[in-house]
Amino acid sequence: MGENTSGRVVHHKRESCLSLEEFVERAPDLTAGERIAVREILESIAEGGREVSRRLALGPLHGLTGSAGQVNVQGEEVQAFDEIAQEVFSGLLGASGRVSVLVSEEREKPDVFPCPSESFLMAMDPLDGSSNLAVSGPVGSIFALYRPGEGDDDPSRAILRATRDVVCAAYVLYSVSTLMVVAFREEVRMYALDPASGRFMPLPGPVRFPDGGGQIVSINTGNYTRWERGIQSYVDTLHSRSSWSARYVGALVMDFHRNLLKGGIYIYPGDLPRGSGGGHPEGKLRLLFEAIPMAFIARAAGGLATNGQKPILDLPATHIHQRVALVVGSRELVQEFSRIAGAPEPV
Ligand code: AHM
Ligand code: MG
């Protein structure tokens, strides 16, 4: 239910909407205890999303659009909001008693929290695309939830071993509206924040990439001369066509979300150093904080994700802050990319 632009309340078809609680209730392969834990974690993410959304809206009034003057473990400047979002989410997830190990793009080492009962390991990027804040552009928060393995007390090793056992992934998109998108193995659902009640209301679903795969390509072509030949060939091929659209916001959550709803592909390949620019030979994005969660959501929505060689969800994780090339989107467009770029076809 919601209000349309004329002030009239819109009723979505009840049967196509699932509350967060109902969605967790029908998620596959969870024990009764895990189901409760997952629901509480998602409620913490919703609460954090609401708080971050509220503070982002006030950002320009508080002068919070630029750099906090610190450097994070990736060697990048920390925006003030990166740190705020980190504190908001780690505070709520830590207090939930359901996340035993939390790794974050903003922290070099894992946070470890006491957990009395069923608990999960989590990786998060608390605020992705934060350079967009300087222009009030969209940003997002990204999460993946892993089932702990047996007998590994070292938190870093535990999460690296668990990355192939994603239970649930989610993102919060802060844009014209604040949306929360949640995926279990085979289904993706979407929720919109009602600022008046502070509640995330279910939208009709499930969410799937549209039939045919779409025509949108999101890639930073400013890096063209730094790419290997296969990526250049792919972009050259696009330019010889009449029917495709380039769309690139420079915030993964926004670019992915548009492509999920409209049909498209997001690509951030490795790029070689040029001149004084450092480049990202292994890719810019991080396996744990960005690639795995988006790959899991894409697969649950009928799409695919690869690093150009292997499916993202099959890659071994060797380091918490490991970077990776990312190609993610509809099945049709990722398969086409692989054919043209000369990469093995992802399955
Ligand atoms: P961040 O984690 O430092 O915010 O960087 C990740 C972001 C992605 O959201 C976005 O897709 C990409 O970096 C944009 O990079 P570029 O500006 O090099 O195109
Ligand atoms: Mg990021």
* Cα–Cα dist 53/40, whole Å: 20
Check: CB of residue 294 under 8 Å from CB of residue 252.
yes
Predicted confidence (pLDDT) at residue 336 exceeds the cutoff of 90: yes
220 Cβ below 6 A of ligand 1: yes
Contact yes or no for 19/202 (Cβ under 8 A): yes
Q: What's the gap in Å between 129 CA and the centre of ligand 2?
A: 6
Indicate which ligand has the atom closest to the C-alpha of 220: 1
DSSP label of 249: -
Determine whether the shortest distance from the Cβ of 278 to ligand 1 is under 6 A. Answer: no
Domains of the chain in sequence order: 20-202 (3.30.540.10), 216-341 (3.40.190.80)
Indicate the pTM of the whole model: 0.93
In this structure, are residues 148 and 120 in contact, taking their beta carbons and an 8 Å threshold? Answer: yes
Rounded alpha-carbon distances, angstroms, from residue 88 to 51, 54, 190, 202, 220: 8, 12, 22, 23, 31
Structure confidence at residue 34 (pLDDT): 94
Mark out the alpha helices in the chain (DSSP H runs): 20-25, 32-58, 80-95, 155-162, 229-239, 252-262, 292-300, 331-341
Q: pLDDT tens across 199-226, in order?
A: 999 999 999 999 999 999 999 999 999 9
> What pLDDT does residue 76 have?
67
pLDDT at 341: 93
Q: Is the CB of 130 under 6 A from ligand 1?
A: yes
pLDDT in tens, 6-59: 555 565 666 699 999 999 999 998 999 999 999 999 999 999 999 999 999 988
Which pLDDT belongs to residue 319? 95
24-33 pLDDT tens trace: 999 998 999 9
Mean pLDDT for 96-116 is: 94
Question: Could you report the per-residue pLDDT of 130-149, keeping only the tens digit for each?
Answer: 989 989 999 999 999 999 87
Name the token pair of 4: 């349309």
Provide the percentage of residues in the chain whose pLDDT is more than 90: 76
Minimum mean pLDDT range among 64-68, 84-88, 172-176, 254-258: 64-68
Sorted by sequence, the CB contacts under 8 Å of residue 48 that are 6+ apart come out as 85, 88, 89, 92, 93, 141, 172
Instruction: Judge whether 265 and 218 are in contact, CB under 8 Å.
Output: yes
Q: How far is the CA of 139 from the centre of ligand 2 (A)?
A: 10
Residues with CB in 5 Å of ion ligand 2: 125, 128
Q: From CA 138, how far away is CA 87, in angstroms rounded?
A: 20
- What is the radius of gyration, based on Cα positions, of the chain? 19
As a whole number, mean pLDDT of residues 172-199 equals: 97
Structure tokens at 91: 């505070």
CA of residue 162 relative to chain centroid, distance: 18
Residue 113 has pLDDT above 90, yes or no: yes
In the numeric block, which tokens belong to residue 144?
């993946």
Q: Is the pLDDT of residue 5 over 70?
A: no
DSSP labels for 54-115? HHHHHGGGGTTTSEEEEE-TTS-EEEHHHHHHHHHHHHHHHHTT-EEEEEETT-SS-EE---
The Cα–Cα gap between 161 and 138 comes to 33
- Give me the pLDDT at residue 37, please: 96
Q: What is the pLDDT of residues 265-295, one digit of tens each?
A: 999 999 988 776 678 999 999 999 999 999 9
Task: Record the tokens describing residue 156, joined without a space.
Answer: 């870093």
Judge whether 322 and 340 are in contact, CB under 8 Å.
Answer: no
Residues 63-92 have pLDDT tens digits of 777 666 656 666 666 668 999 999 999 999
- Residue 51 near ligand 1, beta carbon < 6 Å: no
